[in-house]
Structure 1
Amino acid sequence: MLRNYLKIAFRNLVKNKVYSFINIGGLAVGMAVAMLIGLWIHDELSFNKYHKNYDRIAQVMQHQTFNGEVGTQTSNPYLLGAEIREKYGSDFKFVLMSSGRGKHILKFGDKKLSIRGEYIEAEAPEMLSLKMLKGTNNGLKDPSSVLINESTAKAFFGNENPLFKSFRIDNKFDLKVTGVYEDIPHNSDFHDLAFIAPWDLYIKNENWDEKLSNPWRSNAFQTYAQLADNADVDKVSAKIKDVKLNKVDKANAAFKPEVFLHPMKKWHLYSEFKNGVNTGGQIEFVWLFGIIGIAVLLLACINFMNLSTARSEKRAKEVGVRKAIGSMRGQLITQFLTESFLVVMIAFILSLLLVELSLPAFNEIADKKISILFTNPLFWLLGLGFSLVTGFVAGSYPALYLSSFQPVKVLKGTFRIGHFASMPRKVLVVLQFTVSITLIIGTIIVYNQIQFAKNRPIGYNRDGLLAMFVNNQELIQHYNAIRNDLIKTGTVSEMSESSSPTTGVWAINNGYDWKGKDPSVQGNFGTVAVTHDFGKTVGWQFKEGRDFSRAFSTDSTGVVLNEAAVKFMGIKQVVGETMQIDGKPYKILGVVKDMVMNSPYQPALRTVFMLDYKWINIINIKINPKVSSSKALDQIETVLKKYTPDTPFDYWFVDDEYNLKFLNEVRIGKLTSFFAVLAIFISCLGLFGLASFVAEQRTKEIGIRKVLGATVLNLWTLLSKEFVLLVLISLLTAVPIAYYYMNNWLQSYDYRTEISWWTFAISGLGALVITLLTVSFQAIKAALANPVKSLRTE
């Protein structure tokens, strides 16, 4: 019997090819979108779970209060780890200090790589549960050791055994390989950790004990911890909150430092803090895409149900005949449900193929490395479970409703479907386009916000500006010679050094004082050390005063401020005034326009620029605009190799680095656009199917109207106006929903665009045009049909 049901179902699909394609294709696309989003959400929710102690690991962070506003940071004093171990050791299994991840140059023979790694205390491999392929977790206990990941080992040694071979790091010292660990997966915050070196070596070789006269004042290091098995993270966090406050001097105690634990399970999804309160983060996008996935899947299901119910009304006579020759109602119900299940299962199989084909592009957009979870039983349970539920819901209407028809009325022709039979379908079409238009509006607003921030004046010139890390002493020693040679070539117009790149301020210091300062105001400023030619290199723009000059030896105790700093200080005539930095007087030489160095969505950070040739981390190079970038890069590399042959030319263009600040919003915008297009596509498929059904249902009416003189335009209007009305209702529904949610989203940005009326106008007009294009094909086709044929047809 089941074989017979399947055979009939298959014949119905073949007989109605267009409807079958729309049904199966639309549902498959909807399932594929839901599956992609589901895989993305699974990846987000499983972030950092690679580490076995995931639920016991935390990062030690701190809140500090500046002028009534609480700021949160991951950086700590380098003595913090030892203090926590000494005072609260029973609550922790490990408390580890780290340099933080950064780029370093590893050299073995003639091979050189610029890769990311960090110096960390010896228990890190055990805490992070690194899977050692060679060597052991104890490798870092040797102060001259280094652990590398599998990719680094292959890059340097191929298939050779790397153990006990020596690397040179940053051209400073040699370390021998004591272990190789498996590459950490992409969905871990440590995925780019290519090597680990001993913490004690870092402290010794960088002379931090000598550099830091007040080791509790400087916050330049990361602290990780693993809780003891019986410890509660909230209780331990409350215990250690004053560990720094009890050690700092009176001046720093005024900032009310409060240490706390941020669990690893919250690092990725709950990373944002505002005024000392965790406000969420990536979890917002998990919810957003979860809702979008459900919405797009709902659109596909609506199509399926709409077309299934619409077509089922044409099968009334079939039901009458079947009942007349003895079919039981239960058999008819089984037949309709079988057809529904067959369509859904075909769509499910097709959706798997679509996901497999689209994953490479999706991974590139989403910056993921996800794959279909073929070996996960839950994946199959959810997929097949959803297919069964969808098939049952979509097939329940024809199965239960049509099987109840009285065969006598159907076969005599006295049966009528009912005036309100199409109302559920109209409601579902409105719901479909409400979702689609909402997504379109959201996509436009995200794009506008990105463009608004990108077009913001940034206070310097990024064109042709590149930067590179100062990662060895040779660059510093030969800096002047390198600069002179590059400028002589004509490919470089200017070159300078700084402690921070133009795309970030790496140091925020207190201890600033000035005439007229309110004693209750805490003088903390972003601080950037620069060399004389910095301003010429980056093209900063002076509002008043002058730049640093070699003609004035006193400029070594001079500073340049940005507009935000001057506004904060409240001094009208600031040039020529003196400000105190840690009790030492500095003359204010000039004021530059605010440089957008941190987030482009936030106000510019008040910043002080000072001359300091010792505190240098970055080399800034301005390429001559008359020279091509490729030629300039070749020339720069040639000169650098002359003086620093062991240093690879590792650089970045400031323009590209600045654009990375929009990466998250751009990625969200691209994904939302992708899903919005698919939502419209699915909605239009359903609209096309319904328009075909309506045109087919009104074939005789159209024929009669043509005989009585109706024009093609009259008939097109007749068939289209109902669908246009439904889309207009959708637009009126979508506008307030989109405005509410997108306005709330924009509130998270200090520097944000306004929601304009034209956003809604364009979205509505676009939806109407798409609707008319979709419906017009069937409407015009029906209007051009020969009325003689339609009126002769039974």
Structure 2
Amino acid sequence: MIQNYLKIAFRNLTKNKGYSAINIGGLAVGMAVALLIGLWIYDEFSFDQYHENYDRIAQVMQQQTLNSEVKTSPAVPIPLARELRNSFDADFKHLVLSSWTNRHVLTFGDAKFTRTGNYMSPEAPAVLSLNMRKGTWKGLNEPASILLSESTANALFGKADPLGKMMKIDNKLDVKVTGVYEDLPYNTELRDLRFIAPWELYVASTDWVKTAQDNSEWGNNSFQIFAQISDKADMGAVSAKIKNIKSNKGDKEELKFKPEILLHPMSRWHLYSEWENGVNAGGRIQFVWLFGIIGAFVLLLACINFMNLSTARSEKRAKEVGIRKAIGSARTQLIGQFFSESLLVVAIAFVVSLLLAQLSLPFFNEVADKKMILLWSNPYFWLAGLGFSLLTGLLAGSYPAFYLSSFQPIKTLKGTRFRTGRMAALPRKVLVVLQFTVSVTLIIGTVVVYRQILHAKNRPIGYTREGLVSMHVSTPDIHDHIDAIRNELQKTGTVLELAESQSPTTDVWSNNTGFSWAGKSPGLQADFATIGVSHAFGRTVGWKFIDGRDFSRAFSSDSSGFVLNETAVKFMGLKNPVGETIQWNDRRFKVVGVVKDMLMSSPYEPVKQTIYFIARRAGNFVTIRINPGSSTSAALETIEKVLKKYSPTSPFEYDFVDVEYALKFAAEERIGKLALVITVLAILISCLGLFSLASFMAEQRTKEIGVRKVLGASVANLWGLLSKDFVILVLVSSLLSGPIAYYFLNDWLQKYEYRTDLSWWIFIAAGLGALLITLLTISYQAIKVALMNPVKSLRSE
């Protein structure tokens, strides 16, 4: 019986090849989109689960109140770790002090590479449950040791056994390889951890860290602490316990900021990374929900198409039902036949969707910045896919199965054509409205995302980024010879200027308090971004001065000088800032100049009040201005030769500042690209369904069109007649999509302080675009029927 059902179902599919192709293709595309989005959501929720104790690991964070605004940061002081261990030892299984993940030069013989890594306490491998390929977790207990990721070990040592080999960090620290661990997966926040060096080595080799380790240094928030709570401890309870630990131990200066300590669980690092006024306000979780909803709606569009076309085509099979019932078919047999046809179509579509998903996965991974694979061996993957296919097949087949099988043979076999009445088309019209409401909403959303990106990209940045090259310097060689390097490069004519800074041009690495000036409000808590630079920094980046002058070696007093940005002047309330004295802790500085705000952090946020000063050792970053009249490739070759002369063991690695600046838009551009692809596919799916429905309706009205043509109707009249219903449906969809899109997009834009507006023309343009797409889709069928010879359409059956 089932074999017979499938045979008849297959014959029906091959009999109507065009209808079948559209039906299967539309459903397959929708299922493939939902499948890819489902994989993306699964990857997002499984972030950091590589670590065995993922649900018991947390980052120790700090909240401080500045001018009534609570700011939350992972930056904490070193003494906090010691106090947590001494006072709350029973609550913590492990506590790990850590530096920030930075680039360092790793050298073994002639092999030299720049890799990102951390200095961490010996307990780090246990907390992170590193999978050791060679050596053990205890390797970090040796003070002059290093653990390498597998890829880093292979790059440095090739096929040789790295254990016990001596190598260098930053051309200055001799360390022994005591372990090799498996590279952390791409879907973990610590995936850039290419090596781990001992915390004690960091302290012993870095003077300012050694000072910060002093018990009284509670104000130097320049470090990280990772914790694993005890097996029987509760994360929320431990977080509440340690809340006031710093306010109880810190000095009076620190108490002004009302410091509070808390634990941020690893399970929330990825999806809940944003904080607003002391509250964990979300983060990427909003995109997970957004794309989850979009994926569900795209799948719904495909299902609507399938159900629309299934019900529309089933109306033509009324006589078939009558004949089969007349010759003895039971209603249950007819129900089984219709369900088998529906399930066959869904099964074929599911297979095609798997193929489409597999073929498009590399592109999707590139756009989404993922490394996902189809979960062929995961039983839940197959359970979800097959379960959905079964549900879709049953829903789509329910109308013809139960409704058509209920007809009386005598009525369906009469000479008049089977009619279902005006109300029979109402469900299809509702579904078409729903389809285009989703499509128009997606169009509006995509346009707004790209407008927000362009709005931020066109924002003034206060300097000239074109032609700027930035290099992260982790070895002392470059800094020790910076003047000689600058002179040699300028003599070549390929470089206009060169300077050092303690932060990259596109970020701020240091914030400080302890500032006072004449007229400062007693209650104002002064927090500034502080950038240590060399004298030529302003000339290198192309500062734009509003008042005063740049730093100059001709003025020895500039070693105690400040250059302020516009926001700093406004924040301090200075009317004539140049010449004003500002005290920073125990030192006095004089303002020598004011520059336009230089955008260094997020392009979507206001520029922070910033102070630039001459640093004794501003050697973290070197910024070079290439002569615009020189070839970039030739200039880079020249720069490399000069740098190799003074630092032969350091790899020549650089970043173009304009490229680094462009990366600030990566997350939003990624969302925009995904939204664009999904929107195009959603429109395609909707148009496929619209095309088939238009074809079906035109076929139903063939004799009516013939009569109208005989009575004198023009092709234009007939085209308007056939298009009118669909145009009305799309206009209704446009009216419904406007408020929906406005509600969600306005909420999304609120998270950006520097944001575009929701212009009325976007909604109008999206509606007109959908209307144009609709007319183009249905015009072919409408004109085809309108041009048909009425003699053929009116021929007697």
Short-chain TM bin: over 0.9
In structure 1, what is the Cα distance between the partners aligned to 2:510 and 2:144? 30
Letter in 2 for 1:271: S
Cross-structure match for 2:543: 540
Cross-structure match for 2:263: 261
Cross-structure match for 1:128: 128
Cross-structure match for 1:2: 2
Cross-structure match for 2:245: 243
The answer to whether the Cα contact below 8 Å between 2:734 and 2:767 also exists between their aligned partners in 1 is: yes
Which one is further off, 636-645 or 156-165?
156-165
Alignment deviations for residues 143-198 of structure 1 (CA, whole Å, 9 cap, x no partner): 11111111112222232221111221100112111111111110011111111110
Matched, 1:76 2:76: yes
Among candidates 377, 380, 403, match of residue 379 of structure 2: 377
Cross-structure match for 2:11: 11
Matched, 1:441 2:434: no
Cross-structure match for 1:397: 399
Among candidates 276, 279, 292, match of residue 290 of structure 1: 292
Alignment deviations for residues 25-70 of structure 1 (CA, whole Å, 9 cap, x no partner): 0000000000000000000000000000000000000001111111
Unaligned runs of 5+ in 1: none
Residues 68-107 of structure 1 aligned to structure 2 (within 5 Å) = 68-107=68-107
Cross-structure match for 2:53: 53
Alignment deviations for residues 341-381 of structure 1 (CA, whole Å, 9 cap, x no partner): 00000000000000000000000000000111000000000
- How far residue 208 of structure 1 moved from its aligned partner, in angstroms, is 3.3
Q: Secondary structure at the match of 1:60?
A: strand
Q: Secondary structure at the match of 2:271?
A: coil
C-alpha RMSD of the superposition:
1.0
Residues 349-748 of structure 1 aligned to structure 2 (within 5 Å) = 349-414=351-416, 415-748=418-751
Letter in 2 for 1:566: V
Q: Secondary structure at the match of 1:244?
A: helix
- TM-score w.r.t. the length of structure 2 is 0.99
The answer to whether the Cα contact below 8 Å between 2:203 and 2:210 also exists between their aligned partners in 1 is: no
- How far residue 469 of structure 1 moved from its aligned partner, in angstroms, is 1.2
The answer to whether the Cα contact below 8 Å between 1:237 and 1:261 also exists between their aligned partners in 2 is: yes
In structure 1, what is the Cα distance between the partners aligned to 2:401 and 2:431? 20
In structure 1, what is the Cα distance between the partners aligned to 2:544 and 2:312? 68
- How far residue 88 of structure 1 moved from its aligned partner, in angstroms, is 0.8
The answer to whether the Cα contact below 8 Å between 2:500 and 2:618 also exists between their aligned partners in 1 is: no
Which one is further off, 546-555 or 397-406?
546-555
Cross-structure match for 2:180: 180
Alignment deviations for residues 259-302 of structure 1 (CA, whole Å, 9 cap, x no partner): 11000000000000011110000100010000001000000000
Cross-structure match for 1:334: 336
In structure 2, what is the Cα distance between the partners aligned to 1:436 and 1:183? 42
Unaligned runs of 5+ in 2: none
The answer to whether the Cα contact below 8 Å between 2:63 and 2:260 also exists between their aligned partners in 1 is: yes
Letter in 2 for 1:272: E
Letter in 2 for 1:656: V
Cross-structure match for 2:275: 273
Matched, 1:304 2:306: yes
Letter in 2 for 1:464: G
Cross-structure match for 1:772: 775
- How far residue 660 of structure 1 moved from its aligned partner, in angstroms, is 1.2
In structure 2, what is the Cα distance between the partners aligned to 1:578 and 1:207? 30
The answer to whether the Cα contact below 8 Å between 2:503 and 2:620 also exists between their aligned partners in 1 is: yes
Cross-structure match for 1:114: 114
Alignment deviations for residues 104-132 of structure 1 (CA, whole Å, 9 cap, x no partner): 11111111111111110011111111111
In structure 2, what is the Cα distance between the partners aligned to 1:754 and 1:101? 37
- How far residue 11 of structure 1 moved from its aligned partner, in angstroms, is 0.5
Alignment deviations for residues 322-348 of structure 1 (CA, whole Å, 9 cap, x no partner): 000000000000000000000000000
- The 3 A distance-change label for structure 1 pair 294 and 400 is same
The answer to whether the Cα contact below 8 Å between 2:104 and 2:115 also exists between their aligned partners in 1 is: yes
In structure 2, what is the Cα distance between the partners aligned to 1:562 and 1:252? 26
Cross-structure match for 2:63: 63
In structure 2, what is the Cα distance between the partners aligned to 1:210 and 1:158? 35
The answer to whether the Cα contact below 8 Å between 1:23 and 1:307 also exists between their aligned partners in 2 is: yes
Q: Secondary structure at the match of 1:196?
A: strand
- How far residue 793 of structure 1 moved from its aligned partner, in angstroms, is 5.3
Letter in 2 for 1:56: R
In structure 2, what is the Cα distance between the partners aligned to 1:207 and 1:559? 25
Q: Secondary structure at the match of 1:107?
A: strand
In structure 2, what is the Cα distance between the partners aligned to 1:468 and 1:206? 21
In structure 2, what is the Cα distance between the partners aligned to 1:133 and 1:305? 54
Q: Secondary structure at the match of 2:373?
A: coil
Among candidates 759, 763, 788, match of residue 762 of structure 2: 759
- How far residue 211 of structure 1 moved from its aligned partner, in angstroms, is 4.4
Residues 165-204 of structure 1 aligned to structure 2 (within 5 Å) = 165-204=165-204
Letter in 2 for 1:43: D
Letter in 1 for 2:294: I
In structure 2, what is the Cα distance between the partners aligned to 1:585 and 1:416? 93
Residues 16-31 of structure 1 aligned to structure 2 (within 5 Å) = 16-31=16-31
Letter in 2 for 1:154: N
Letter in 2 for 1:179: G
Letter in 1 for 2:588: P
The answer to whether the Cα contact below 8 Å between 1:529 and 1:616 also exists between their aligned partners in 2 is: no
The answer to whether the Cα contact below 8 Å between 2:534 and 2:618 also exists between their aligned partners in 1 is: no
In structure 2, what is the Cα distance between the partners aligned to 1:572 and 1:378? 66
Alignment deviations for residues 592-637 of structure 1 (CA, whole Å, 9 cap, x no partner): 1111111111111000111113243111111111112212111111
In structure 2, what is the Cα distance between the partners aligned to 1:709 and 1:455? 58
The answer to whether the Cα contact below 8 Å between 2:202 and 2:209 also exists between their aligned partners in 1 is: no
In structure 1, what is the Cα distance between the partners aligned to 2:218 and 2:478? 31
Letter in 2 for 1:85: R
Cross-structure match for 1:229: 231
In structure 1, what is the Cα distance between the partners aligned to 2:632 and 2:796? 73
In structure 1, what is the Cα distance between the partners aligned to 2:443 and 2:630? 43
Cross-structure match for 2:324: 322
Which one is further off, 103-112 or 316-325?
103-112
